[in-house]
Amino acid sequence: MSTFEHGKQISVRYDPATLTDKDELPSGKLWPPSPSPMYLFTLVELSADNSDVPTGAYSMYVIPEKANWSLVINQDVSAGSPYDPQRNLLRVPMQIGQLSQPTHGVKISFRPCCARRSSKRSG
């Protein structure tokens, strides 16, 4: 869980997957890192790649590829329901990099990255 201004929180719930050196990620295909999707709960509006994510609950997936990964935020949070791409709120590229040490699990974290946008215009 991450807490931002005014005590507003963002959390992700998921069953952490444990990957071994023999596991291969499904390149170019939707991947929940556990048997069920990750679930995002946000009490603050988010923004990613010029798209807004209103407060609420969402399912999250990643699409791993060799050089680029994508994050998919989907509006369906019904337990056990199959993935429906028609319910996607957004699909955005992710920043990727190299870890200093190998890891065998999934870790999700949030951090503020930008100045707060304002909808006010001066004229």
Q: What is the pLDDT of residue 20?
A: 62
- Determine the Cα–Cα distance for residues 19 and 6; give it in Å rounded to an integer: 37
Contact 74, 92 (CB under 8 A): no
Parse the chain into domains and list their residue ranges.
2-94
Q: pLDDT: is 109 or 119 the higher one?
A: 109
Tens-place pLDDT, residues 12-70: 888 776 666 666 778 899 988 777 888 999 988 888 888 889 999 999 999 988 888 89
Helix, strand or coil for residue 57?
A: strand
50, 64, 112 from 87: Cα distances, Å = 18, 20, 26
Q: What is the pLDDT of residue 32?
A: 83
- Determine the Cα–Cα distance for residues 83 and 53; give it in Å rounded to an integer: 19
Res. 108: pLDDT tops 80: no
- Determine the Cα–Cα distance for residues 6 and 26; give it in Å rounded to an integer: 39
Q: What is the pLDDT of residue 15?
A: 78
